[in-house]
Structure 1
């Protein structure tokens, strides 16, 4: 296990190579007279959100739009969760996907998105699932319904068995020829809501790691047994479908999250189920406390009824279980003084070290969409120095929640503010920045909305009367063909969503260009 908050040597090597691609792309796009120096090249990242086939298809369209603008080579990172990991995993089978036309990949995805899925439950498929799960158990993994879901995803997205593994994606970034993919999950614990306990986990072709602890292991060793930072038993690396099942585990929902869909507050449930903690320091301010020390508190555990209610509300149908590579590892006793730990210190156990350091045998991981539905956390590691975020989001609420979360964590992020009227009538693109904070990234926000696409089939090209139907997309109603649980689209619906996502990028190219220019200018000013 690698213990530290710096980037691994493989990623640093990737960044050095990728900057050459980005520098050449920026020179061509902006017709620069001179080559950009390494320190002048901005780091641009695409951030996506989840949502099943809708997110998968939307990401294909957005990438196609960036490709047509010759901006895809300007991207250094792509982060994903839930449905967008399906797109990323498919693309990164091809070691040079971003250097080619994307039509073939989009066509293959359309074939899978529009095929009949009923044979997913055929007797032959059930036998296949059983055989694969038995083999996985023999390999030493703890199997769950999430693994079965991963095998179903394999069928939904492929014509046959997919032997692809995450570590094999190193071939797609070894020369810096594609952006580095980052897949995101969150680690949870029993009897705690996702808001009360979650720890960000990032997956790259190089490493898998917990952001808060700065603990990383090589990707091919994820799932193997560790003790005190040493590998005890090597398990075969999981196929990508099992990871996709975890990254998009819709079956990890609990009653408290279902409650949150219709209510904006968990205060009622917290009042009756959470531990009661009083800060003694507020009553007795004369008690000395050093900056890195914990405040003195009184702790009252919940009673039997509250415990029962808490268990019922927080219990998840299924959670992906993997051997905890932090098992037996004692965190440094001065961890509260570590600024990187404090950046992600946000669980209810962070103020109770004796419970926090009781590392369980297995890590329980779920879809990051169950928290604030964003894959941005790993890209806000200061070591990655991301200058521009291209946020591909479904709704404004997800970006608003992310902004509030990062503000609470004191992580540099621009303030996101729209009026109630603006929230009801979202535009296709927004640019947010904090000009007073040079460390704060620039955010280009591209919500999935159907605005001018209703009347224009391409930027500046109006639809004729016979083409108006092609601009009509129902994205939000209950009867929408693009609901999160839809596993099959018609060819027409697939193409409409793809075209909308591509159009929104093309139609707002000037805003994206403006953000890149601002980032380059900021880089030059910082070096002066």
Structure 2
């Protein structure tokens, strides 16, 4: 049940729905264009029009080219089989053809097919606002197609359509015979997820996944292995089989002519893919998280009763949802988070938290803790001692020849499994050596054991998905969340099981299951902002000559990375030699160093509901114009491009702003050195822009110059907004007190001296190695800051409980003035 006043009525429980809808035939007649401006000063335009409707075909079609004419007339008609329940946007582009140079794109227009109703004919004249008033005249006609309707699955934003799977078996012995002759069978289904596949010694059975209504066609031919991709090959003989001619479930044998009086037998079978989707379409919490919440509420209720010395048990509606939000900040974030969690543990507040979110460096702390199934029930001194050992150790061994060869072997193995090698993947392995003595075999799904009884807060990890061609501006960005249960986009209401992350999907179905990655590879994705500073850190941790020698014998010069965070691709000097297996594996990675991770897109193929833009659940950025262009959004991409949130906003707050999580209190930790409120203010503005309940951050000039240890922010006008307890990383009273209320002696004053202010700080972002003394200071500072604000934290929790009680009665009280400490 959603608590009144805490998001009620804003978002409904949206889950996937199954419905049927007929397909229609859209005919598009490109009539003519007028007043076209030629790009050639000497002759008229040589125009043609390209048509692209990605919801009907993954291929573009085009008209013939009209030579030397600024008013070309085509009168050519094209046909598209469409599903009216999806958003069909036709893209028409006018080109000026050129035989010698790249063809010039003159202009592009978009047309929403929903404007044409069945039985109607619509004529549109698309005009450009220019001196010559160029125009394109197009006629549209819609007709119903007889036959059974198509079954679709939708959550109101995304749509999954009916998919079939073609299985092709090539005769094994004949296949081996032709492979020995340096020939292989090339199989192509243009409308399929797989596209083109070729026989090898290890493969003679192939699968093609297709949208049924696209009426896919199989093409097969025998081709010399030496022929370039896309060439017609050495044989003029080919086989074409429309899949609609094959009865579902029946095996059919066909023959490919491979020479005079010679045939190669192929066995075909078309099967309908199951209705059940492997991508969960819905905006509600998954069943496992809902079950976790039931168990966790009991733990929280018991802890609060003891902590607040209550005389009775709490009712379910009185139990506040508390989230601990940790940002990034390299080794500083990892170390300080241990201290903050230790402070919460000392106050018996860890059992009161329902969620723990992290990003970048703070995820290192989280992944280490969640290997222990009852970590919050035990003292944190042990994990802190282990972390201290890793922070103190020398890092140069991570680039020894032995380790480099090991990285090489692991990347080759993962590539053979189907994972995509990347710079981030390489640094994941380097980073693991930094943080651990031995490889960690654990996986994200293993963390379910640490929450299966509600014994620990549920961990949530945040990251951004962007577009490669917009990395310099970040005009396109989408939040992605990871939990032990699922990975997904709240924006689209689409989630997959965490063990299936980086596997291959099409139209919501799992088409190729890859082994789940070890946790270090996810850490590399979550912290890839840090990757661009690793080279600097390694450089300064040893002499330059020693560094280059250790890196690789045949790699002599590599440019140091610029520390700017503009998100552009960083290029390094190419290796002077490419001899040897080691440099072969790193050659592509090191010559171009993208600061993002590419992984298989589990949204691939999914289409958009015709009303997706009207859905409140579809949370979009005001500056992301692509949201109104469905064919440019993530489901159309082959890969996800995942980057550290630090490139945009150093916060892991987004997962706990999901209305279904109903969070009452956010314990906001900040690991910035300076600009202590910048990320919180950015989060507040982001939420206001998107209509997400969140308090306004109001600060005095004195607060900005000399921040306190803790601040309380609440939104009096919006009781659905969470209360935020913000802890900047500052050294106010810790320099004078070793414990709350216990002053330092003169000899202990140096223990309270923590430099958090400049680039000479031992905690600067690029510092990979701390001394024992510096590590201890940072951990103790974090613990002290929490403990020193015990009364403020308890006061805020009590107010949140009161607010819940009153809201159940239909009262929406304003938050009392709570003095920040």
TM-score (norm 1): 0.87
- 1:400 paired with 2:678, answer no
- 2:622 and 2:689 in contact (8 A); partners too: no
Out of 497, 506, 516, the residue aligned to residue 237 of structure 1 is 516
For residue 655 of structure 2, what is the aligned residue in structure 1?
Answer: 378
Q: Where is the strand percentage greater, Structure 1 or Structure 2?
A: 2
Out of 734, 740, 762, the residue aligned to residue 481 of structure 1 is 762
* CA deviation string 1:441-481 (max 9, x = no partner): 00000010011111111101111110111111111311111
For residue 344 of structure 2, what is the aligned residue in structure 1?
Answer: 66
Give the match's secondary structure for 1:454: coil
Q: Distance in 2 between matches of 1:451 and 1:144?
A: 43
For residue 281 of structure 1, what is the aligned residue in structure 2?
Answer: none
- 1:330 paired with 2:607, answer yes
Note the C-alpha offset of 1:350.
Answer: 1.1
**Which consecutive residues of structure 2, in runs of 5 or more, have no partner in the other structure?**
1-278, 534-560, 568-591, 810-821
For residue 481 of structure 2, what is the aligned residue in structure 1?
Answer: 202
> How many pairs does the alignment contain?
475
Q: Distance in 1 between matches of 2:758 and 2:730?
A: 13
1:167-316 to 2 correspondence within 5 Å?
167-192=445-470, 193=472, 195-250=474-529, 258=564
Moved more, 337-346 or 486-495: 337-346
Q: Distance in 2 between matches of 1:70 and 1:461?
A: 20
Note the C-alpha offset of 1:337.
Answer: 1.4
Note the C-alpha offset of 1:257.
Answer: 9.2
Give the match's secondary structure for 2:460: strand
Note the C-alpha offset of 1:318.
Answer: 2.7
Name which structure has the greater RCO, CA cutoff 8 Å, separation 6+: 1
For residue 269 of structure 1, what is the aligned residue in structure 2?
Answer: none
* CA deviation string 1:380-423 (max 9, x = no partner): 01000000000001221111111111111111100101122210
Give the match's secondary structure for 1:178: coil
Q: Where is the helix percentage greater, Structure 1 or Structure 2?
A: 1
1:109-188 to 2 correspondence within 5 Å?
109-188=387-466
**Which consecutive residues of structure 1, in runs of 5 or more, have no partner in the other structure?**
262-314
Note the C-alpha offset of 1:128.
Answer: 0.9
For residue 203 of structure 2, what is the aligned residue in structure 1?
Answer: none
Note the C-alpha offset of 1:210.
Answer: 1.0
Moved more, 416-425 or 176-185: 416-425
Go from structure 1 to structure 2 and tell me whether the alpha carbon gap of 1:357 and 1:205 turns closer, same or farther (over 3 Å shift).
closer
- 1:200 and 1:210 in contact (8 A); partners too: yes
Go from structure 1 to structure 2 and tell me whether the alpha carbon gap of 1:495 and 1:85 turns closer, same or farther (over 3 Å shift).
same
For residue 718 of structure 2, what is the aligned residue in structure 1?
Answer: 437
Give the match's secondary structure for 1:45: strand
Give the match's secondary structure for 1:187: strand
Out of 358, 363, 377, the residue aligned to residue 99 of structure 1 is 377
- 1:194 and 1:371 in contact (8 A); partners too: no
Give the match's secondary structure for 1:342: coil
Go from structure 1 to structure 2 and tell me whether the alpha carbon gap of 1:256 and 1:131 turns closer, same or farther (over 3 Å shift).
closer
For residue 19 of structure 1, what is the aligned residue in structure 2?
Answer: 297
- 2:473 and 2:566 in contact (8 A); partners too: no
- 1:146 and 1:251 in contact (8 A); partners too: no
Note the C-alpha offset of 1:527.
Answer: 1.3
Go from structure 1 to structure 2 and tell me whether the alpha carbon gap of 1:333 and 1:252 turns closer, same or farther (over 3 Å shift).
farther
Note the C-alpha offset of 1:342.
Answer: 3.0
Give the match's secondary structure for 2:791: helix
Q: Distance in 2 between matches of 1:444 and 1:428?
A: 10
Q: Distance in 2 between matches of 1:386 and 1:67?
A: 20
Larger radius of gyration: 2
For residue 325 of structure 2, what is the aligned residue in structure 1?
Answer: 47
Out of 698, 701, 704, the residue aligned to residue 420 of structure 1 is 701
| CA root-mean-square deviation | 1.8
Out of 308, 316, 341, the residue aligned to residue 30 of structure 1 is 308
Out of 800, 806, 811, the residue aligned to residue 519 of structure 1 is 800
